[in-house]
Chain A
Amino acid sequence: MQKTLVIDPGKCTGCKQCELACSYVKEGSFNPSKSRIRVFDFHTEGRFVPYTCTQCDEAWCQQACPVDAITTDPVSGVKQVHENLCVGCKVCTIACPFGTINYNVASGKVVKCDHCGGDPECVKACPTQAILYSDVEQAGYDKMQQWAGKTDNAAPANSA
């Protein structure tokens, strides 16, 4: 089964535990600026939105890479950057429409979310379950359920 990160911004409090967990496991220290997942604060709307790579099927980054340093894991579908091949040209960072692949000055390579090899640290660190790791084909289940609840025939009577 392929899995994906299912993000529910409505549950996010903006604590950045995901960024801390990601940067610790990927960079060896607590450093949100190096996190592969980032939380955005839409201040005047009172909304916090975690955002990261969604592992496109036909990935712009992969197709743009001139040295084939980005490959697809056949089982998980995750796009992986091979540091031994990456030349740091950053073309992928231009190609990605979502901004989720970025250059790392310290290594001279690009970095992106790789689902921590199937056990994402951000998911474990999130205190409010705003980030889940679930079956990619059922990612919409919770939202479907919510809307299903709203289409109950009894609703108009209740709201009267």
Chain B
Amino acid sequence: MAWTRKILRVNLTEGTCVSEPLNMDWALKYLGQRGLGTKYLMEEIDPKVDPLSPDNKMIFATGPLTGTCASTAGRYSVITKGALTGAIACSNSGGYFGAELKFAGWDMIIFEGKSEKPVYLCIIDDKAELLSAEGLWGKSVWDTDAAIKATHQEPMMHIAAIGVAGEKGNMYACIVNDLHRAAGRSGVGAVMGSKNLKAVAVRGTGGVSVEDFGAFMKSTEAGKKALAENAVTGEGLPAYGTQVLMNVINESGALPTRNFRDVQFESANDISAEAMAEPRRSDGKPNLLTNQACFSCTIACGRISQIDKDHFSVVNKPEYWGAEGGLEYEAAWALGAATGVKDLEALTYANYICNEQGYDPISFGSTLAAAMDMYEEGVLTKKDTGGVELKFGSAEMLTKMADLTGTMEGFGEQLGLGSKRLCEKYGRPELSMTVKGQEFPAYDPRGIQGMGLTYATSNRGACHLRSYTVSSEILGIPEKTDPLSTDGKAGLVKAFQDATAAVDSAGLCIFTTFAWTLEDIAPQVDAACEGNWTPDTLMEAGERIWNMERNFNLAAGFSGKDDELPKRLMKDAAKTGPAKGMVSGLDKMLPEYYEVRGWNTKGVPTEETLSRLGV
């Protein structure tokens, strides 16, 4: 019932849009969004396909709860073979776009082929058509959003688009919806650009129903109460956003600094949530203007910022003087600590450009950090960088490189390769802080051991959102484990991975899990959907999804050998903080992980495991 039971299949080569029924047998096994979208991709493409070829497909998938009043139920994911990684990609986004797609009557859109000329997909309820985007090609995400709304005279449309970065094949380009929410990782925007698809615009006027309204209102009400009463979701996130972590992680000795040379950033406080809220010395106003919720979210962790008009990054550029999406923790870390830059306004500007031109600030900051590392080692010179001094800590250089990367000009084109390709190109692959080609987020595996295993085994390459063990190891949720110990981390990572896969498939935001367990989520899903959804069946669905994703990657050519971390994290000990003297204990955790997963010693799921899960 919560599913609309309708899929839109868009063949870009033929220019056709066709409605087809949702496969309900799959929905009952894979729930929706991440799980169900991946199942469709798995069935429809050869995992060996070139991600940027017309043979790759790209799926926009909502969850069954998307569009309902369950807290945070506005999510959608983009599932494809990632441009950056060549692995399964599933990038999740909030805002209002996902819910609007549901209101238009669609669970999912499957894009296949490649359009000869630039197009955008316009959906108004059950009417879907491909329209020329030749006048939009070359425009930013923000200009595209405004132009499409003006063309259709539909201010209530919600739009997901790529910027110039996605058009020009930046390998970590994202798809940005509602101006500053993004399906951010693994280069899903590059895949979209390779199909000559500029945007998806949706207006929906239908309603979303659930199977049992009485039970649903009751369980969602209880869920919202739990979120409001929890210290993280009720106080920390609305007041400080995810940026609440900056000082906490720094004090834990797990804030990767200057391309993971260090694990603590001496200027962490300057780029923290606290700094965002304080009045600036320059103009007496704080960087943070207000918080914003995504659709249906009662947490409201989103940041809305305003840069000082006289800051060098925006002086004489009034288009950046208004309120825009501000820094989240991962972005502040990548643009700041990873590059050694402590100028909060410069970080905010770079973050704006990431949204405006559609590329991932995590991968960009990390790639820039790797380039700086090579510059300081003399591998890169001014000749390579177009005359720019690529030194750690330069705010002017950061904003300049953000501009160039957005339009893929000058050295920005090199940065658009991503850290792995860039470091390989200049003969220093070991300086690329990546797993399966994807750059690390903001937690150092030497200081938070579980995150090393998380990164190494993540199906979409290094990522914090596949098993956020920081929750347990630092915040003590649901229970405290020692961040410096490898004991029990294999089981912890597996549990987080499976539960997260279920949440990502429901239409909910993973941030709810600071307050919710599957005990809170299952009654909401069960009241909304056909099928029997309990904490156990959700966990099993999550495990099924994880193994399916693993199978995709194995078929794509990855193996257990790719479950590894860069040498720097395995050999160079942390220099300061609580983890001083430590390296990652991945070699201890990985064999244990394969065992608890029911995989053989090479990291391949056994027949027994696959048949138990019905993969």
Contacts and interface: CB of A to CB of B under 8 A. Distances in A.
Interface of A: 13-17, 20-21, 23-24, 27-34, 43-48, 125, 127-128
B300 A15 contact: yes
Nearest to A10: B290
Given A14-B300, A33-B156, 20 more contacts: A15-B295, A17-B69, A17-B298, A20-B68, A21-B69, A23-B207, A27-B207, A30-B67, A30-B68, A31-B103, A31-B208, A32-B99, A33-B103, A43-B179, A46-B289, A46-B292, A46-B306, A125-B69, A127-B224, A127-B300
Contact of B204 (A13, A29, A33): A33
Contacts of A46: 289-290, 292, 304, 306, 323
A19 B206 CA distance: 13
A24 B298 CA distance: 17
Contacts of B324: 44
A45 B323 contact: yes
Contacts of A44: 322-324
Contacts of B179: 43
B294 interface: yes
A27 B205 CA distance: 12
Interface in B73-128: 96, 99, 103
Interface in B496-552: none
Nearest to A15: B293
B207 A13 contact: no
Main secondary structure of the interface of B (DSSP, over half): loop
Interface in B273-332: 289-298, 300, 304, 306, 322-324
A55 B82 CA distance: 53
A82 to B, nearest CB: 24
Q: Which 5 A-B pairs have the closest CB atoms?
A: A29-B207, A44-B322, A46-B323, A31-B207, A15-B293
B103 A45 contact: no
B317 to A, nearest CB: 14
B322 A45 contact: yes
A28 B208 CA distance: 9
Interface of B: 67-69, 96, 99, 103, 156, 179, 204-209, 213, 217, 224, 228, 238, 289-298, 300, 304, 306, 322-324
A29 B323 contact: no
Contact of B295 (A16, A28, A31): A16
Contacts of A24: 69, 213, 217
B290 A15 contact: no
B289 A15 contact: no
A32 B103 contact: yes
Given A14-B293, A24-B69, A44-B323, A34 B298 contact: no
B205 A33 contact: yes
Contacts of B296: 15-17, 20
Contacts of A33: 103, 156, 204-205
A80 B518 CA distance: 43
A48 B292 CA distance: 9
A30 B291 contact: no
Nearest to A46: B323
Which of A32, A33, A34, A45 is most buried by chain B, counting CB atoms within 10 A of its CB?
A32
Contacts of B217: 24
